[in-house]
Structures are given as structure tokens and as C-alpha cells.
């Protein structure tokens, strides 16, 4: 995992396995089935990295040999929150890794006039004492991610209890994000070059939702 000189809270997960899978996802020739599978696999590998600092508590257990105090993660104290719809493809990988985690949903659509995100669904678990992993494959303009974190704040989740995970990020989006929520770490597999005039990430991988669900 490496950090970026211009963005102190951006962590790039440059593990070769993650990078290899991401390169396949970027290819225009990759099928929906493979894209979906790879997104899940990458999310799982990213999840392994971003949970490195999770606190553990100690439980009394019996091995076949003796009693011991064994470290365990409080899975029920974690929440995975996909931003719909493409975030759900990443959430699948994290849930496989942390099956006891609670799952929330934040649904946003883009207003055709203002191009700003509009919230249409919020379902969250109890927030008290919980760490929230917010996921969206593409951190493009940063507006959806900021809106989703504003929503979490409104429901009582502090920035210090949030981590944001994106497959690919654009510098423009990272800046918007970090100006709004400097204390929320961003984890991504790739920091790309820029946004184009339609706010797609370049080189990116196209529309993540369409590629994940086979729509257009
Ligand atoms: N959303 C996507 O799905 N792809 C992009 O490149 C930008 C936003």
C-alpha cells in the first residue's frame, strides 16, 4: 500500500494481484460475468488491506490441547455500505470476507439539470460504536462520495469512523473528497489521469454500473 504526495489521506493498493485483476477489468473486451467476478475478488483483496488496523478483542477458547485467549474481530461492529448501484458489486467481496458485518445502503441518482447527487434511499444499521466502510467503484467528481458521507454524518456517524473504498479514482474527485472530509481515508486500486468532459474517468473502465449489470 502506498500514499500519494498531493493527497495525504489517499492510499493506493498497489498489490500486484489487485493491479493484475484491475487491468483485466479495464479491458473493453472483458465480459459482464468476468467483470463482476473480478470486482468481487478485488474488493476482497482490498478489504484484507483496509481492515489491517481493526482492533481485536480476546476471547477465551479451548483448543484440543489447552485453554487460551484468542484474538477476534468484532464483526458485528462493522458495516459495509455500498453506494447504489455499482457499490453493491464491491460490497459482495467485503461481505464474503466479513460475513458478520452489517450492511447498509445509500441510493443516489444524478439530477439531470444540476448534475448533483440526489438521495433516494438510506438504510443503515445501528451506528453506535460501529466502523463504516463506504464503497463505490468509481470516485469520479467526488460529489456522490461526499453526499454519502454527509448522509452518514447526518445519521450520527463521525468521519473518524468511516473508510471509503473505490476501485479507481480521479484526481479531481479525490480533491473534492478531501476538501470536504479530510479525515476520511480513501483506499483505491488506481489513481487515474483525469475526468473527461462527461465526467468519466480516463483511462478508467467505462460505466461501472453498466459493466457490472450488463446494462447500457
Ligand atoms: N462512474 C462510472 O461508472 N465511470 C466513470 O468513469 C465515472 C463515473
Please name each of the domains of the chain with its CATH number.
2-52+77-213 (3.40.50.2020)
- pTM: predicted TM-score of the whole model, two decimal places: 0.93
Q: Are 165 and 134 in contact (CB under 8 A)?
A: yes
* Phi, psi at 159, each rounded to 5°: -55, -35
C-alpha 199 chain-centroid distance: 19
**Which has the minimum average pLDDT: 24-28, 99-103, 136-140, 191-195?**
99-103
pLDDT digits (tens, 9 = 90+) for 54-92: 888 999 999 999 999 999 987 668 999 999 999 999 999
Average pLDDT over residues 35-40: 98
Query: For atom 5 of ligand 1, which residue has the closest CA?
Result: 200
Ligand 1 pocket, CB under 6 A: 138, 140, 200-201, 204, 207-209
128 SS3 class: coil
Q: Where are the alpha helices (DSSP H) in the chain?
A: 16-26, 32-50, 87-97, 143-154, 171-180, 208-213
pLDDT of residue 116: 86
Q: Please state the atom number of ligand 1 nearest to the C-alpha of residue 200.
A: 6
pLDDT of residue 163: 96
Instruction: Please give the ipTM for the structure prediction.
Output: 0.95
Query: For atom 3 of ligand 1, which residue has the closest CA?
Result: 207
Amino acid at each position: 500500500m502506498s500514499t500519494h504526495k498531493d493527497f495525504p489521506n489517499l492510499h493506493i493498493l498497489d498489490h500486484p494481484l489487485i493491479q493484475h485483476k484491475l487491468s483485466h477489468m479495464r479491458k473493453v473486451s472483458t465480459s459482464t460475468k468476468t467483470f463482476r467476478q473480478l470486482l468481487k475478488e478485488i474488493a476482497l483483496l482490498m478489504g484484507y488491506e483496509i481492515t489491517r488496523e481493526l482492533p481485536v478483542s480476546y476471547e477465551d477458547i479451548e483448543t484440543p490441547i489447552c485453554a487460551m485467549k484468542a484474538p477476534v474481530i468484532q464483526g458485528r461492529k462493522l458495516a459495509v455500505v455500498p453506494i447504489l448501484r455499482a457499490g453493491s458489486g464491491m460490497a459482495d467481496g467485503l461481505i464474503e470476507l466479513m460475513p458478520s458485518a452489517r450492511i447498509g445502503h445509500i441510493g443516489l441518482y444524478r439530477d439531470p439539470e444540476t448534475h448533483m447527487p440526489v438521495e433516494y434511499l438510506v438504510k443503515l444499521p445501528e451506528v453506535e460504536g460501529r466502523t463504516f466502510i463506504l464503497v463505490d467503484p468509481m470516485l469520479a467528481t467526488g460529489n456522490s462520495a461526499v453526499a454519502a458521507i454527509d448522509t452518514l454524518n447526518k445519521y450520527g456517524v463521525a468521519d473518524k469512523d468511516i473508510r471509503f473504498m473505490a476501485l479507481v479514482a480521479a484526481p479531481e474527485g479525490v480533491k473534492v473528497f478531501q476538501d470536504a472530509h479530510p479525515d476520511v481515508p480513501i483506499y483505491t486500486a488506481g489513481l487515474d489521469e483525469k475526468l473527461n468532459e462527461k465526467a468519466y474517468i480516463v483511462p478508467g473502465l467505462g460505466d461501472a454500473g453498466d459493466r457490472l449489470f450488463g446494462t447500457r
